[in-house]
Structure formats: C-alpha cells, structure tokens
Amino acid sequence: MLIRLLRFLFGWSKPAAPAEVASPREPAPSSLTGRDLSQPASVQSATVPKADSRAAAPPRSNLSGLDTDKFAPITVDEALAATAKADWKSAYFDSRGVIPHPSLPRVQVIDRTMVGMGLISEQELAEIHDIGDRMGQFRSDAEFIAIAGERAVVESREERQRRKELRKAEAEARRNLRREQVVQRRATDIVFLGRGVSRGLADRRSNVELLQNNGLPVLSSPAELAQAMGVSISLLRWLAFHSDAPTRVHYVSFDVPKKSGGIRRLSAPHRKLSVAHHWILTNILNLLPVHTCAHGFVAQHSVLTNAEPHVAASVVINADLSNFFPTITFSRVDGMFRKLGYSPAVATILALLCTECPRQALKFSDTIYYAATGPRALPQGACTSPAISNQIAAKLDRRMSAMASKLDWKYTRYADDLTWSTTGEVTPSVGYVLARMRHIVNDEGFELNHAKTRVQRRSQQQSVTGVVVNDRMSVPRQTIRQVRAILHNAKRTGLDGQNRDAQPHFRDWLTGMIGWIQMVNPEQGRKLRSELAELS
C-alpha cells in the first residue's frame, strides 16, 4: 500500500483502488472511508522553497506538540487536488540520501497521508525530520567532501589515463626503434639462417693468428665475409638460409646410373651459388695443404699418381667408402672451418653455402615444396665438395698412412677409393690389415662398402682406379680390344653403325675413351687417335 501510494504521489503511476479490509463491527484504521480528510490551511498556503534556502530553515528538535489537525486524514480527492497544484509540479527534487524538509507542500501531504493512514506515528515522523535537520547542518561540508572526492577520482582517472597514454607512447617508440634496428641489422648483419643451424652466428671471435699463419683471409663477421665475396648481406643470407620445405632451391638435381647399378644423385648449383662456391674454393680451400696420400681432386695428381705406388705389388687391396659425400654433414664441415681459425659465425655461413639437404618435390595447394629428406651434407656436383672431403678425411689419411708405414705397406686414397698394397710375402697379415682398416674407417665417421672390397694377388689382374698395375700401368685389355674393334668395323659401316649401346654422342664417347688410353699409354693412344681421324 505504501509503495503504491508513493508511486501515485510522485506521479509514477495511478494507484489501484485500496482493498477494504473490514471487520464485522468497524472499518480498518488504515481506510480513508468515513474520516475527515479536510486539508489545513497551512498546507494549502505553503510554497516550495528554493534549493539554496532550505539549509537556512530553522532546525526542529521534534514535531510533538504540533496541531494534530495537520496530520488529519485526507480523502483521495483532496490528495489528488494537492498534487495538481503548480508548486507540486515544480522541477525541484531533493537529491538522494537527503531527508526532505517538512515545510515542502509535497512532504506535508505525504506526512498527513502516512500518519492519517496509520502507516507511521507522529513520534516516528518527528524523529525522521529531526534527523534530517541535523543532517542539514553538515550538508555543506558533506557536499564539499563529496565534490572533493569526485574531483580526486576524476584527477586520479585522468592521471591513470595520462600514464596509460605515456606507456603506450613509450611502447610504440620502443617498437619503432626495434623495427629500425631490425631493418638496420638485416641490412648489415646476419643473426638467423634457419632452425637448428644458427647457434654460432652470434660468436664473431676468430683466431686471427692461426688464419694468418695458414695464409687465409681473416674474416670474423658476416659483413666481412660478404664484403670479401663481393655480394650483399641480403644475397649472402638468401644463399645460405636453411629451410626444411622451401619453394625454391639453389641446386638443379638429376640422377645418373652407376656402373655397379643403382642411381647417383648429382646436384649442380645455380649461377649465384656457383660464384660463391668458386670464391670459397679459390680463396680458402685451395690454400689448404692436402695429405700426400690423397690424389683425388688435387692439382698435379690423377688416377695415374694414385696407381703408381702400387705397381708390381704382390697383394693389392681395394676398398670403397659407402656414401662418401652424404656422410660429410653440415656439422663436420662447420667444425672444419672453425678448426681453420674462423669464427663460429663465418664457419656457419661457409658450411651452409657448401652443404645441402637431399630433397623431394611435393605439391600442396598448387604450390611445389622441396621437402628435406635427410641432413645437410656435401652435394655431389659442387666444386667445393671434393676439396672439403679431402680436409675432412685428412685424419683418416694420417692414421692409414701411419699404419701402412708400420706394416711396410703402401696406402693411397682417390676420393672414396682406398688402396693398400705390399711387395712382400704378407699373406698372413691381410686379415689384420682389413680389420684395422675397418676399425679406422668407422672411427673416423665413415663406413666401408664391403661389397666392393677386393684382395688382388699377383696371379690375377690387379687394377687401381681403373689402371692395371701388375707389371706396369696400363689400360685393361678389354677396353683396348673394344676400341680397336669399333675403329676397325667403322671403316666398313661407319661410326654410327658401331653405336650398339645407343650412346647419344657416340663420337665424343669414343674420343674420350681414346684420350683415357692415351693418358695411361701415350704411344698406344696416339695410334688409336690417328685411326679415328681417318674415319672423319
């Protein structure tokens, strides 16, 4: 009832008709029926004070002793008539948390109605307004405190906003500075070249004294290496960058059949990488000493110099290293360059330039990716691979040569072909040599191809890297007979008629065979070359 009455008096909604709860003898005390609801003149003549004049109203300790007619019940019509007056409809309202002054007409009507309906007693109403008067004495201070508090809150929020904007500005400045530093660093330095291979790029410490003693160019940083090679940092980064599945690679790979069966994968570098390889070969690798037992890919050495020490031997042992280049991985090449005195940063870049992963082309979403199928290792087809392999196998050559000298044997190596020979009667020691050879090879990180290991005695044809060495160096008889038969029959049928194996460039192939014979036996080779010239 009280809530509905307040809603009605403040204009929120029309009140519902009050329910009459009557006893058999008399009406309920809260009913307005049968009561004198005449409104006192003081209520009708009261006006709404201004907002700034309410605090100056005389304080009252209580409302006891007032004219009880002031709180006499009023009818609904009288209450509606009071709410229709202009002063009731004024725009002034007390703020929340403040008890309104009893002199306000609106408050007087509400007080009369509440007391008249028995919702509150005069004493309780007096206490409420007394508390309101006492609160009014401190209202100015409370308002000042509230305003000061609100101002402090606003200032605190503004300060937090300023600090927030300052932090944002500082963070943006740091990001811009870092962005500029990254751009500058990318243009002048290399700090990352792919996952798993960039660990040493931060170390720029080179052994300058060791490099100078070896006559090698002193390089410590990627910038110095790029400047020495005559390329930009960005190009050097692009050539050396490692990726497990790039969309473009720096090699053209193709397969060629092996004489012994199977396929050999050759990888030829593109032009820009080939230029970098030639610089490394000319300025670093060719300046390094090579063990005297190594004859493959060494200046002034050939298969003839490799076979010559084994001429007229009683026993010749040939062995082959399985997957020679693929076993020389990125980490071994990196360690080789570091051992020369180069910093880890320069050694890492050089090793990345000289190695590559075996890859397989895969198509996904209309894009071809070259997925790595193994670790980075020396590619067969790069000009740097043979020279690097000689450096990696240098310790193998030293150990093999030392053992051969101790046993009165001779040892040579041409790429992945190992040859042992002796002129004495050493049949009981052949097994020991084979066992020690296998142990040293495995200990140095290589593996023997046991299918190609051969022990050749004097009673049979002894060959070393394709050269027969029984009594003197010569070409196998089968090769000589084949070339002579081709030249003899070609006089009747022509060269094309003798191309029984469908060689694509038969004349060039025949010229190469004659050149090989002439290198081993110059006199015999000259005769065969003159016969070929007569056919043209």
pLDDT at 10 over 90: no
For 7, residues 6+ apart whose C-beta sits below 8 A from its C-beta are: 13, 15
Residue 111's pLDDT is 82
Q: Of all residues in the chain, what percent carry a pLDDT higher than 70?
A: 82
The amino acid sitting at 108 is Q
SS3 498: helix
Residue 60's pLDDT is 42
CA distance 171 to 178: 10
Q: Which H or E run contains 369? A: strand 367-372
Residue 520's pLDDT is 93
Average pLDDT in the 31-40 region? Answer: 43
CA distance 228 to 276: 11
What are 189-214's pLDDT values in tens digits? Answer: 999 999 999 999 999 999 999 999 99
The burial class, CB within 10 Å (0-12 / 13-18 / 19+), for 467 is buried
Structure tokens belonging to residue 349: 């870049």
Domains, the chain? 2-137 (no CATH), 189-283+329-377 (no CATH), 292-328+384-473 (3.30.70.270), 477-535 (no CATH)
The verdict on pTM exceeding 0.85 is no
Angle between helices 430-443 and 394-407 in degrees, nearest 10: 160
For 107, residues 6+ apart whose C-beta sits below 8 A from its C-beta are: 100, 101
Residue 441's pLDDT is 97
Q: Is the dihedral of CA 107, 112, 114, 120 positive or negative?
A: positive
CB atoms within 10 A of CB 8: 18
pLDDT at 64 over 80: no
Helix boundaries (H) for 189-229 = 208-213, 222-229
CA 174 to chain centre: 22
Q: Is the dihedral of CA 423, 428, 431, 433 positive or negative?
A: negative
**Structure-model confidence comparison of residues 76 and 245, the more confident one:** 245
Structure tokens belonging to residue 211: 């490099």
Average pLDDT in the 228-248 region? Answer: 95
Structure tokens belonging to residue 17: 């008709």
CA distance 431 to 449: 17
Sequence length of the chain is: 536
Q: Of all residues in the chain, what percent carry a pLDDT higher than 90?
A: 60
The amino acid sitting at 423 is T
CA distance 341 to 219: 9
Residue 416's pLDDT is 94
Residue 3's pLDDT is 55
CA 268 to chain centre: 29
What are 377-394's pLDDT values in tens digits? Answer: 999 999 999 999 999 999
Least confident of 10-14, 42-46, 112-116, 165-169: 42-46
Q: Which residues on adjacent β-strands are paired with residue 66?
A: none
Residue 117's pLDDT is 78
Check: CB of residue 449 under 8 Å from CB of residue 347: no
Residue 129's pLDDT is 86
Check: CB of residue 494 under 8 Å from CB of residue 487: no
The burial class, CB within 10 Å (0-12 / 13-18 / 19+), for 494 is exposed
SS3 116: helix
CA distance 480 to 498: 16
pLDDT at 408 over 50: yes
CA 82 to chain centre: 81
Average pLDDT in the 136-144 region? Answer: 70
Check: CB of residue 270 under 8 Å from CB of residue 248: no
CA distance 183 to 199: 21
Please provide the DSSP assignment of 386-421 as one string. HHHHHHHTHHHHHHHHHHHHHHT-EEEEETTEEEEE
CA distance 288 to 283: 10
Residue 429's pLDDT is 82
Please provide the DSSP assignment of 251-285 as one string. EEEEEEE-TTSSEEEEEEEPHHHHHHHHHHHHHTG
Structure tokens belonging to residue 38: 């005449």
Structure tokens belonging to residue 130: 């007394």
CA distance 221 to 208: 12
Residue 501's pLDDT is 80
pLDDT at 71 over 60: no
**Structure-model confidence comparison of residues 293 and 17, the more confident one:** 293
Considering the chain, what is the average pLDDT of its residues?
Answer: 84
Average pLDDT in the 467-483 region? Answer: 93
CA distance 465 to 356: 28
Residue 238's pLDDT is 96
What are 286-309's pLDDT values in tens digits? Answer: 999 999 999 999 999 999 999 999
Q: Is the dihedral of CA 88, 89, 91, 96 positive or negative?
A: positive
Average pLDDT in the 336-363 region? Answer: 96
Structure tokens belonging to residue 133: 């008067």
pLDDT at 96 over 50: yes
Residue 89's pLDDT is 52
**Structure-model confidence comparison of residues 91 and 180, the more confident one:** 180
CA distance 225 to 229: 6
Check: CB of residue 201 under 8 Å from CB of residue 191: yes
pLDDT at 99 over 70: yes
Residue 433's pLDDT is 92
Q: What are the CA-CA distances from residue 196 to residues 226, 242, 325, 399 (Å)?
A: 22, 9, 21, 32
What are 320-348's pLDDT values in tens digits? Answer: 999 999 999 999 999 999 999 999 999 99
pLDDT at 67 over 70: no
Q: Distance between the two ends of the chain, CA-based, in angstroms?
A: 131
CA 308 to chain centre: 54
Residue 426's pLDDT is 58
Check: CB of residue 222 under 8 Å from CB of residue 349: yes
Check: CB of residue 66 under 8 Å from CB of residue 43: no
